[in-house]
């Protein structure tokens, strides 16, 4: 049964790899370099030997009209020069064919080896038996042209791995660690979990960890894309690959080797560049059958001319070999992998990590997109704007008790309330008993014998707390876009704290651009209806879902899918995980964490929502290149096979010798690879 074009033997050594297996290594910088060097070396040796072969061949003699002197019979000399081309420079095709047939797969190596060996063995037969015009130049030039085509393809694809190589280079070769009370210098690979790593100004962070001593400023731009250095104090996390700028600090290694964020990013890019788009799977199946068609066409051409038309064996074999060679579906096999490699490479360069080729292709199909409000459209760092209290309650007491109760929560609103209490010099360290976090609603705690409930209006209703004493103030805060945390003490409403989260600078531009691309844009939030409406109106969003609990967000994504829409969900990759999983394309924004990398199909390493637009444009441009390449590869084979088979020879005099067929086949591959590289022109459109 025909399989895909690409060899499946990347684990074998180089001599056991078919030439198409080389592309499996293209995203590994060191292996890619070795593969390209090997292909280049094979090409130059093959070319060096092919020049005299062509000059001594019957074709060369007819073109240049002179005979070169030779110490041996011409066919013997051609045999000596061609044999190392076939069995050394072209050995990757022969060994590739062996392993392909052994695993019952048909790929391009089978076709090339068939063409080369047919021309070579027939020529050998003539040399050692009856003599006559041989095909040595066809075998030699076929190998030479194919090697050149794949060397050029490797060169073009190597450029797409620049971003990946830059990520590899972020890890310093050595680092200073404290062991046994002494500071020693070791390689980064020798660092183990629990090691204390010393950072001095200018040092690169070798692994992920947590600051244990000192304070410093770290540039994380190459990892997160954020240009502003981040201050790190005791307890702060550091990411491998970032750069220490000012202070001296020590951190405990928490993740090393393949567990680091940087290693996960590199793995993601490698996986994406080696994965297959849905369109490529169709092309692979078509190409597998095209191998059968090519061999069948070659046999048909041979018997049609030799038996049907009664031409000589040499002429019939010429048509057959030319047909097999030009029918090689090489370009079809390269059509989408080259575009995927370039597209994912561009994405990585702009901190847009696309997990696989299917995601890169399917993103272009999106018709709707749902964006979480907090942390996606807003900065995710809300601040207290106002504290209102019921008559008879003290402003500071309400804020202090609320802060103490919120201390056990990691919600951004809780952090804002704690920060406000700190600004007012209030003690938020009251002894808390029976703390309970009520997901999506708020908290409940007992402090100094008092039952404190802080959270949403719905939470107050569930606890039968009358809000009428401050209802006007609550409505006023909501109407101005504030999120509120209502505070109740011993079953009585005591006050409300208004919290506002600043919109990201590019949020409005992002919504406008998404709508201009034809997408329906919806916002989803756990906030009150009035807050959601205020933010939506400001951003120009027509559809929003308010007061949605984290676990219910997936239901709203499915609601859009049930309407027939192809939906993307954009969230922070933590509490939005169910919705990200439900969506057709999950986009995790503001990454830098392994959680986000695990949950999103696309990970936007920066916290800039406009990167969503960039990812969409990149996907659309990549799909255009895929379609262009597939069209060229398919139409090329459809038009070329009849000409090579001699269908038009009697009527128009059109024919192709095997070496010309090899040249045209290689040219097709180069055109496809070059067209994919032109995708780089989309970079100018990723930002406005």
Give the relative orientation of helices 313-326 and 108-128 as an angle to the nearest 10 degrees: 160
- CA pair distance 234, 129, nearest whole angstrom: 85
Q: How many CA atoms lie within 13 A of 340 on its CB side?
A: 32
Of 363, 372, 381, 352, nearest in space to 541 by CA = 372
Angle at 288 between CA 286 and CA 294, to 5 degrees: 95
The first and second tokens of residue 473, run together, are 């103030």
Of 182, 164, 177, nearest in space to 209 by CA = 177
Asked about 372 being catalytic, the answer comes back as yes
What one-character DSSP code corresponds to residue 27? T
- CA pair distance 591, 495, nearest whole angstrom: 36
- CA pair distance 157, 152, nearest whole angstrom: 9
Of 211, 222, 317, 203, nearest in space to 266 by CA = 222
Q: How many CA atoms lie within 13 A of 51 on its CB side?
A: 5
Helix (H) or strand (E) holding 42: helix 29-56
* Bridge partners for 586 per DSSP: 569
Helix (H) or strand (E) holding 387: strand 383-389
Note the residue count of the chain.
688
- List CB contacts of 687: < 8 A, sequence separation 6 or more: 610, 614
The first and second tokens of residue 134, run together, are 């041989």
The first and second tokens of residue 179, run together, are 């062991």
Query: Which one from 21, 219, 372, 608 is the annotated catalytic residue?
Result: 372
The first and second tokens of residue 531, run together, are 């807050």
Instruction: Name the 3-class secondary structure at 452.
Output: strand
- List CB contacts of 464: < 8 A, sequence separation 6 or more: 491
Task: Give helix then strand counts, H and E, for the chain.
Answer: 25, 22
What one-character DSSP code corresponds to residue 526? S
In this structure, the number of other CB atoms found within 10 A of the CB of residue 449 comes to: 7
What one-character DSSP code corresponds to residue 503? B
Determine how β-strand 442-447 pairs with β-strand 450-455: antiparallel
Distances (CA, A) of 648 to 115, 120, 569: 21, 26, 56
Residues forming the active site: 372
């Amino acid at each position: 049964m025909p399989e895909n074009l690409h060899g499946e033997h990347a684990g074998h050594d180089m001599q056991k790899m078919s030439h198409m297996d080389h592309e499996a290594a293209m995203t590994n910088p060191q292996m890619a370099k070795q593969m390209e060097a090997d292909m280049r070396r094979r090409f130059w040796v093959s070319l060096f030997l092919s020049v005299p072969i062509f000059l001594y061949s019957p074709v060369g003699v007819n073109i240049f009209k002179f005979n070169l002197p030779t110490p041996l019979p011409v066919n013997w000399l051609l045999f000596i020069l061609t044999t190392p081309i076939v069995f050394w420079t072209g050995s990757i095709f022969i060994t590739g064919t062996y392993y392909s047939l052994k695993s019952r797969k048909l790929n391009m190596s089978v076709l090339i080896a068939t063409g080369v060996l047919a021309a070579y063995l027939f020529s050998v037969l003539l040399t050692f038996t009856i003599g006559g015009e041989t095909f040595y130049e066809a075998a030699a030039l076929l190998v030479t042209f194919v090697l050149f085509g794949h060397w050029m393809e490797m060169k073009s694809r190597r450029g797409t791995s620049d971003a990946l190589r830059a990520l590899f280079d972020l890890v310093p070769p050595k680092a200073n660690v404290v062991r046994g009370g002494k500071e020693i210098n070791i390689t980064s690979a020798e660092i183990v979990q629990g090691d204390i790593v010393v950072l001095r100004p200018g040092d690169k962070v070798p692994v992920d960890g947590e600051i244990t001593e000192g304070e410093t400023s770290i540039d994380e731009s190459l990892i997160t894309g954020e240009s502003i250095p981040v201050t790190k104090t005791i307890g702060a996390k550091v990411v491998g690959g970032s750069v220490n700028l000012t202070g001296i600090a020590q951190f405990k290694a928490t993740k090393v080797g393949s567990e680091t964020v940087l290693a996960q990013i590199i793995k993601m890019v490698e996986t994406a560049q080696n994965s297959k788009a849905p369109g490529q799977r169709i092309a692979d199946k078509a190409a597998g059958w095209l191998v059968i068609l090519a061999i069948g066409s070659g046999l048909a051409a041979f018997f049609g001319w030799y038996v049907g038309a009664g031409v000589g064996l040499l002429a019939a074999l010429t048509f057959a070999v030319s047909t097999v060679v030009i029918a090689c579906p090489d370009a079809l096999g390269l059509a989408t992998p080259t575009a995927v490699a370039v597209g994912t490479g561009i994405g990585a360069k702009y901190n847009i990590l696309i997990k696989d080729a299917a995601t890169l292709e399917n993103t272009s199909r999106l018709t709707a997109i749902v964006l979480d409000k907090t942390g996606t459209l807003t900065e995710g760092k809300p601040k207290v704007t106002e504290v209102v209290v019921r008559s008879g309650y003290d402003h500071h007491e309400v804020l202090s008790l609320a802060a103490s109760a919120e201390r056990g929560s990691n919600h951004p609103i809780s952090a804002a309330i704690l920060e406000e209490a700190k600004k007012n010099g209030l003690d938020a360290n009251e002894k808390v008993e029976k703390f309970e976090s009520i997901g999506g609603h708020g908290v409940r705690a007992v402090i100094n014998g008092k039952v404190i409930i802080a959270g949403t209006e719905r939470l107050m209703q569930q606890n039968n707390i009358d809000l009428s004493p401050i209802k006007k103030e609550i409505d006023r805060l909501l109407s101005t876009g504030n999120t509120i945390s209502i505070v109740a003490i011993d079953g009585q409403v005591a006050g409300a704290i208004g919290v506002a989260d600043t919109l990201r600078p590019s949020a409005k531009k992002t919504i406008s651009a998404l709508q201009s691309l034809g997408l329906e844009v919806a916002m989803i939030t756990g906030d009150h209806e009035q807050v959601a409406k205020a933010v939506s109106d400001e951003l120009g969003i027509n559809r929003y879902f308010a007061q949605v609990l984290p676990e219910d967000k997936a239901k709203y994504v499915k609601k859009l899918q049930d309407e027939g829409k192809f939906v993307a969900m954009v969230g922070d990759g933590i509490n939005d995980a169910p919705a990200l999983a439900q969506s057709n394309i999950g986009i995790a924004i503001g990454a830098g964490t392994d959680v986000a990398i695990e949950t999103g199909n696309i990970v936007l390493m920066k916290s800039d929502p406009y990167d969503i637009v960039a990812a969409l444009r990149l996907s659309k441009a990549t799909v255009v290149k895929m379609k262009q390449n597939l069209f060229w590869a398919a139409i090329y084979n459809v038009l070329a096979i009849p000409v090579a088979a001699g269908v038009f020879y009697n009527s128009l005099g059109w024919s192709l010798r095997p070496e010309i067929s090899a040249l045209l086949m290689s040219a097709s591959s180069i055109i496809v690879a070059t067209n994919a590289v032109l995708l780089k022109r989309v970079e100018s459109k990723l930002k406005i």
